Structure 1
Amino acid sequence: MTGGERKTMGRRTVIGGAAAALAAAGFEAAPAYAGAPSSTPSGAAGSGDQRVVRLSVLGTTDLHGNVFNWDYFKNAEYDDSAHNDIGLAKISTLVKAVRARLAAQKHTPEPLVLDAGDTIQGTPLAYYFAKIQPITGGHVHPMAAAMNEIGYDAAALGNHEFNYGLDILRKFQRQLEFPLLGANAQDWTTGLPVFPPYVLKKVHVRGEKPITVGILGLTNPGIAIWDKAVVENKIKFGGIVELAKSWVPKVRAAGADVVIVSVHSGIDLSSSYGDALPYPENAAGPMVEQVPGIDAVLVGHAHQEVAERFVTNQQTGEKVVLVEPLKWGMRLAMIDLDLQKVRGRWTVVGRHSQVLNANTVEPDPKVTKLLQKDHDKVVEYVNSKIGTCTEAMSAATAPWEDTAALDFVNFVQADAVSKALAGTPQADLPVLAIAAPFNRAAAIPAGDVSVRDVAGLYIFDNTLLAVTMTGAQVRAYLEFSAQYFKQVTGTGPFTPDQVTNAPTPTAPNGTPDYNYDILGGLTAPLAYHVDIAKPVGSRIADLAYDGAAVTDDQQFVVAVNNYRQSGGGNFPHVSKAEVVYNRQVEIRQLMIDYVSTTGTVDPSAFHTTDWSLTSNGAPITVTS
């Protein structure tokens, strides 16, 4: 695959205050290549093959539909405990500042701009133009418009690109003015790539032949599980290491002087789906270790900030630089590659990387103006009133105590399944539902309820399914879920971080809230205690349905989201259980529809305290 030369030279206009903006963002000039002649500083003209040229590559990842520094669920400017800012409007300001700085330096090439995936899902802005006013009707996706304005050179596919189906994804791809790469997204039958695997970019150097940069894109194999309903029998996903071994030599053979991999996969080896697939979820580090010929890697998927990490290739001994710029446009990655001609060909002789903080700059007025109408339309939509609530419901404590907020999610799911099963062989089975505390900040107020209030409880675009499970399988499922808790002694009081988000072999940095599930019954309670003084695997006590102990052979229908049913989180039994309901209806929309239809949410109609945390049978206290 070959790409044209950059067409964004007009964006190299020097902007006032670029140096100050970069300094505030944390920019540090990388040291000159140590092997450069003392009379020829890095980036300056030298004699013959002694000249060293610095190529900069900028990168984002896991933007998740964020253009503006705005929290649609709070209807306020985005803020968090670290006071991060988000969105492409701020990233655009940083990109322009870097371009301006480099433009002021003679003989320094213009930087490339890349993304490592998960672009079109994650905010009401993204949802609106996928479901309410789909881009298939002709509207340009706001993420495409913003990224085109910034002047990206390439992007890798993320797993969430597939959430809205292939029609939306292909339309988004056509709207981009740069290639969307995915070497391991392969035709189900032929194995050939169904997206461009790589692109070659010619980077001009004054007085020299261009540097040819090969950009290889790889996405996450977990798509085969997480979006099975979208891709099965159409697209399969090979392993990141395996496909890199195949494609990196091809990129080199096509003429690349430099090979950069944009990969939607974390650095450290792990998989949330265990051994459900033969290929790991997070494999950027092993890829570098095992595949020679890679110069730098833009990492995504793990939502971590990695300013600079070097991994050594086992075959060549080369130290390759990897960088991950957190998420949502909070950071801009900057890779600096020092190149020198060796026997007439550009060769990387030095590598550095850093991340720039977006909270130090103002949003780019061009991006803001371009997408203000889209933003205003979505703000109006999410703030529209759809009903009332008799008392406030908060998810703040949902990970460690039974709350009305999560009971509401489970009630809506179970109610939809129960009604759909009328007249089927499963109609008389008790219905349970599974929910996770996705968003501790979510709350539905007393009084008027808006779309954003309800949507805040369910921030993912999952669809609803139902499966049949036995009592033994339900118990095993709950035991697996309970590994979310750290083992304790005594009854506290504990702070939340002392009991939640326990590290596991598949989540070494701590089990995320979305991989802790709570089960509840529809017409009768499913009651249990989670004894976190006990070791993992023997924590569920007093499991009962409708007041009677659950037996191993008892039959249940269990409402579950598509992520979990397809293997996300590697929970036992659910992915292999018989599916008795699957209408591809989004859970969040079911909740919005419930409020719109009934007009009133009354927690007393569905909330009872059915589960609790204990320590050797005694209740524990968690204080936030």
Structure 2
Amino acid sequence: MTDSGERNTMTRRTVIGAGIGAGIGGAAALTAAGFEPAPAFAGGSGKTVRLTVMGTTDLHGNVFNWDYFKNAEYDDSAHNDIGLAKISTLVSAVRDRIAADRHAPRPLMLDAGDTIQGTPLAYYYAKIEPITGGHTHPMAAAMNRIGYDAAALGNHEFNYGLDILRKFQRQLRFPLLGANAQDWTTGLPAFPPYVLKRVHVPGEKPITVGILGLTNPGIAIWDKANVENKLKFGGIVELARQWVPKVRAAGADLVIASVHSGMDLSSSYGDALPYPENASVLMAETVPGIDAVLVGHAHLEIPERLVTNKTSGEQVVLSEPLKWGMRLSLFDLDLQKVRGQWKVVARHSQVLNANTVDADRDVVALLQKDHDKVVQYVNSKIGTCTEAMSAATAPWEDTAALDFVNFVQADAVSKALAGTPQASLPVLAIAAPFNRDAAIPAGDVSVRDVAGLYVFDNTLLAVTMTGTQVKEYLEFSAQYFKQISGTGPFPSDQVTNAPTSTAPNGTPDYNYDIVGGLTKPLTYKIDIAKAPGARITDLAYGGTPVAADQQFVVAVNNHRQSGGGNFPHIKTAPVVYNRQVEIRQLMIDYVTTTGTVDPKTFHTTDWSLTSNGTPITVTT
């Protein structure tokens, strides 16, 4: 939150820095952000030098503490703040603290990827006014102003194609690293694998820091359309094992890996690739010669994790600074000279909280015009709607608003599966009533109107499921309703948000899923007079009862597919589509492309609530 206490309301020009003074600086900023000085290394007989390395990750197009879809300053339940303008203030405070010690080396600044996708600001300069036309990407401008030393590629860097990515790369004043992003034909690195940074130490020989960048192998699946026959992606552990010795041989006294891969071993794509998605700890444990790892991709806050390399016996420190510029990782690496060469003898890391400081005035001023342009775009007309669609009653009746979400999801999956073995299977889609206040008006429709229907940053996947599994999924979802008999009318709070063992205060709306078909309707009734687990009746696809072994492709968001809500079957079902495209953006793109939203083309009443087979009436 800004220390000025102001919540800026939208006017013609949204001034992000309104009312902000010079901001908290120096020691006060670090104390407020949660900084705890690491204990000085007390062992050995030589002089100890402390090198500080700062890091961000998963910035996802956030420069300002602003929610473009809500048209207000960003806020969440934890009161996090976001964006590079806040990070810049923390970075300056760290640099000021270190500069006060004339014997301390200059700190380094790194990023672990996923930089140019995720907000309307990023989308605008990729699709509406692409940076290939000459405009400097706001993320490049902000990172250059802050003074990064290197960044790793993230998987979302590839979402807008290689032309945008290469232009962004050329706009940076620091290297964009990716040792495992390889030319399709030659296997040679398509981006710099590493960079050496020589850090001056007063009165001593410089410290040579090797920074190795590694990205996620899942790009081969998620952005197949953009990289196939152009780039391939080797395993993180395999390529680290190849490049770390080369970085050392090039003269590095220590090696820091900036890796767009989560800490703990897992893969959302199962065995579709021979390399795991999340492998940072595995790399640290099995590849000797790495001293520290800046971790990205998982959107987790992990201030410090220490692991021991199984070959060398040396400790490795890892840190992941959450996402969107909410945190800044801070590594303190203590070095001594051993036989004339610098060696890390102690390591420590922590994270600093961006919500404790003001935005950097310089970054705000640099990019205010870009921001204003995007605010105007988000609130501008992108199409029309033939009749109003509201999600107010979506939890208890079939609405055009939720059918629109499901239609866009299913349509995107169906088109992507053309020419694959699953192309002939019927496509279903799953959506939840995230926001009862959401509505798309009749007449002019803005980006923000469409985004209101989908308030989360979920991406789209598709899995295959059987008829039995679909029915069991719907039964699980139907736990959302309280068990009542009679036909009503009932006020909605007597029907919805039933308490369960896992939701004793009531099942939230976002854990009630509605399933719909694309080319044919999936129809069913939910008999809430029955006990949970025996409520789904008359389940049919295209008017024919669903067979137990019937195969469906089911479009679903990444949160649900990864286990969110603990719905049955979806987490273990085979994944047949995963390009990591945001569902919200797909909806915006649909309206922008078609120009008109006509509910008559996708809305039919396919499900309803009953009591012992008789329709019921629910009121608000």
Per the shorter chain, which TM-score range? 0.7 to 0.9
Instruction: State the partner residue of 1:494.
Output: 499
8 Å Cα contact 1:186-1:238 kept in structure 2: yes
Preserved contact between residue 479 and residue 540 of structure 1 (Cα < 8 Å): yes
Q: Cα deviation per residue 1:127-151 (whole Å; 9 max; x = unaligned)?
A: 0011111111111111111101100
Question: What letter corresponds to residue 366 of structure 2 in structure 1?
Answer: L
Which among 16, 28, 35 is matched to residue 36 of structure 2? 28
Q: Cα deviations across residues 125-183 of structure 1 (Å, max 9, x unaligned)?
A: 00001111111111111111110110000001101011011111111111111111111
The one-letter code matched in structure 2 to 1:203 is V
Q: How many Å apart are 1:453 and its aligned residue?
A: 2.0
CA distance in 2, matches of 1:257, 1:311: 20
TM-score normalized by the length of structure 1: 0.77
2:141 matched to which residue of 1?
145
Q: Residue 42 of structure 2 aligns to which amino acid in structure 1?
A: A
Question: Is the alpha carbon distance of 1:586 and 1:86 closer, same or farther for their aligned partners in structure 2, counting shifts above 3 Å?
Answer: closer
Deviation of 1:594 (Å)? 7.1
Distance 1:130 1:496 in 2: 45
**Mapped partners of 2:94, 2:504: distance in 1:** 43
Is structure 2 residue 70 aligned with structure 1 residue 74?
yes
Counterpart residue type for residue 205 of structure 1: V
Deviations 1:469-521 (A, max 9, x none): 8xxx5537747978998999996822796399x9xxxxxxxxxx89x894434
Instruction: Note the C-alpha offset of 1:191.
Output: 1.6
- 2:118 aligns with one of 110, 118, 122: 122
- Residues 52-82 of structure 1: CA distance to partner in whole angstroms, max 9, x if unpaired? 0100000000000000100011111000000
Give 1:316 shift: 2.1
Partners of 1:485 and 1:245 in 2: CA distance = 46
SS at match of 1:269: coil
2:576 is matched with which residue?
575
Q: C-alpha displacement at 1:235, in angstroms?
A: 1.2
Q: Are residue 588 (structure 1) and residue 587 (structure 2) matched?
A: yes
Which residue of the partner structure matches residue 218 of structure 2? 222
CA–CA distance in structure 2, aligned partners of residues 241 and 251 of structure 1: 15
CA contact 1:396–1:440 (8 Å) conserved in 2:
no
The answer to whether the aligner puts 1:610 opposite 2:607 as a matched pair is: yes
Q: How does 1:228-377 map to 2 (within 5 A)?
A: 228-377=224-373
The reply on whether 1:89 has 2:85 as its aligned counterpart is: yes
CA contact (8 A) 1:486 1:499 kept: no
- Specify the alignment match of 1:475 in structure 2: 467
Q: Which residue in 2 is equivalent to 1:548?
A: 544
* Distance change (3 Å), C-alpha of 1:33 and 1:183: same
The 1-side partners of 2:393 and 2:255 are apart by 45
- SS across alignment from 2:596: helix
Match of 1:444 among 439, 447, 456: 439
Aligned equivalents of 1:388 and 1:223: distance in 2? 35
Distance 1:476 1:206, change over 3 A: farther
Verify the 8 A CA contact 2:280 2:295 in the aligned structure 1. Answer: yes
* Correspondence list, 1:52-201, <5 A: 52-201=48-197
Count of residue pairs brought into register by the alignment? 556
How far the C-alpha of 1:434 sits from its partner, in A, is: 2.4
Alignment correspondent of 1:527: 524
Distance 2:215 2:476 in 1: 27
Whole-angstrom CA distance in 1 between matches of 2:52 and 2:221: 36
CA contact (8 A) 1:299 1:322 kept: yes
Cα distance 1:315–1:378, how it changes in 2: closer, same or farther (>3 A)? Answer: same
1:446–1:335 distance in 2 versus 1, CA, 3 Å = same
Compute the displacement of 1:445 (Å): 5.0
Cα distance change of structure 1 residues 352 and 72 upon mapping to structure 2, 3 Å threshold: same
1:252, 1:259 within 8 Å by CA — same for their partners in 2?
A: yes
Aligned CA distance change for structure 1 residues 303 and 563 (closer, same or farther; 3 Å): closer
Relative distance call for 1:420 and 1:280 in structure 2 (3 A) is: closer
The 3-state SS of whatever aligns with 1:575 is strand
Alignment of 1:460-471 (within 5 A): none
Whether contact under 8 Å (1:481, 1:571) holds in the other structure is no
Letter in 2 for 1:593: T
Which whole-Å deviations, capped at 9, do the CAs of 1:307-345 have from their partners, x for residues lacking one? Answer: 111111112222211100000000011000000111111
In the alignment, residue 524 of structure 1 is paired with which amino acid? P
Mark the runs of 5 or more structure 2 residues left unpaired by the alignment. 1-21, 484-496, 564-569, 579-583, 616-620
In structure 2, how many angstroms separate the alpha carbons of the residues matched to 1:175 and 1:159? 19
Greater shift after overlay, 518-527 or 173-182? 518-527
CA–CA distance in 2 between the matches of 1:249 and 1:532? 63
One-letter code aligned to 1:549: P
C-alpha distance after superposition, 1:258-304 (max 9, x if no partner): 10000001101111111111111111111111111111110000000
The Cα shift of 1:396 comes to 11
Partner of 1:18: 26
Q: Which moved more, 1:242-251 or 1:50-59?
A: 242-251
1:611 and 1:234 map into 2 onto residues whose CA distance is: 49
Shift of 1:239: 1.1
Paired AA for residue 78 in structure 1: Y
What is the distance in 2 between the residues matched to 1:130 and 1:267?
30
Partners of 2:359 and 2:89 in 1: how far apart? Answer: 6
d(CA) in 2 for partners of 1:197, 1:446 = 50
For the residues of structure 2 that align with 1:246 and 1:483, how far apart are their CA atoms?
Answer: 50
Q: Using a 3 Å threshold, how does the CA distance of structure 1 residues 334 and 416 change in structure 2: closer, same or farther?
A: closer
2:450 is equivalent to residue 454 of structure 1: yes
- Whether the aligned pair in 2 keeps the contact of 1:59 and 1:325 (CA below 8 Å) is yes
Distance 1:363 1:280 in 2: 37
| Distance of aligned partners of 1:461 and 1:494 in 2 relative to their CA distance in 1, 3 Å threshold | closer
The superposition leaves residues 324-367 of structure 1 with CA deviations (integer Å, 9 ceiling, x where unpaired) of 00000000110000001111111001111110100111111111
